[in-house]
Amino acid sequence: MRHARAGKKLGRDSAHRKALYSNLAGALIEHGRIKTTVTKAKAVKPLAEQMITLGRRGDLHARRQATAFLRSRDVVHKLFDEVAPLFKDRPGGYTRIVKIGPRPGDAAEMAYLELVDEEFVAKEREARTPEASEIHLPETEPTEDPVPEEEPEPVEESGDGAEQGADGSDDAAADDEVQ
């Protein structure tokens, strides 16, 4: 039994899994969006957000921690200089998972793991009242479905291929006489 064992194994040993997480998080920081399976995206999302939080801190210790995990100075440089300043006012939630359907080869559920790109606007929460929490739907009368328009009848084409010219137009000889 796996009592108190958090995280997915993904069919890999610990070193392979750590390398996978490092590579996926580095690719996300470098490219802004990666296409992977839903399970891998869910596994690497908290680690990628932790790296962005380190980038927001911006001190030397955070840079060394990010370099130890990501193992690429170029990716760490981009994280601290380009990516982290975009999220300076956002209190978390730097990434999103967008499901895109099954992969054709093995029907594995695929998803995009991408950085959130819209500006974060901090706003105060509204006080909830008991009346506001209840949902009231207006009662409406059922309406009749609109009648679909009839499709025009198809035009029959002539079965004689001799009358058509090389360009597919009818009466190619008549076109030549006019010119």
* Each residue's pLDDT tens digit, 119-128: 667 777 777 7
Closest CA to 40 of 105, 110, 116: 110
Q: Are 71 and 27 in contact (CB under 8 A)?
A: no
- Segments making up each domain of the chain, as ranges: 14-115
Report the largest interatomic distance among the alpha carbons of the chain, rounded to a whole angstrom. 89
Q: What percent of the chain has pLDDT over 90?
A: 61
Mean per-residue pLDDT for 2-7? 87
Taking CA atoms, 143 is separated from 23, 70, 136, 146, 148, in Å, by: 55, 59, 20, 9, 15
Q: How confident is the model at residue 63 (pLDDT cuts 50, 70, 90)?
A: very high
User: Taking the alpha carbons of 3, 97, 91, 61 in that order, is the dihedral positive or negative?
Assistant: positive
Quickly name the fold that domain 14-115 has.
Answer: 50s Ribosomal Protein L17; Chain: A, (3.90.1030)
* Rounded CA separation 106/100 (Å): 14
Burial class (CB within 10 angstroms; exposed 0-12, middle 13-18, buried 19+) of 34: buried
Q: Which residue has the higher pLDDT, 177 or 106?
A: 106
Q: Is the pLDDT of residue 133 over 80?
A: no
pLDDT over 90 (residue 50): yes
- Alpha helical stretches, state H, the chain: 14-31, 38-57, 60-70, 73-78, 84-86, 130-133, 172-178
Q: 34: which strand partners?
A: 113
User: What is the residue type of 163?
Assistant: E
73-102 pLDDT, tens per residue? 999 999 999 999 999 999 999 999 999 999
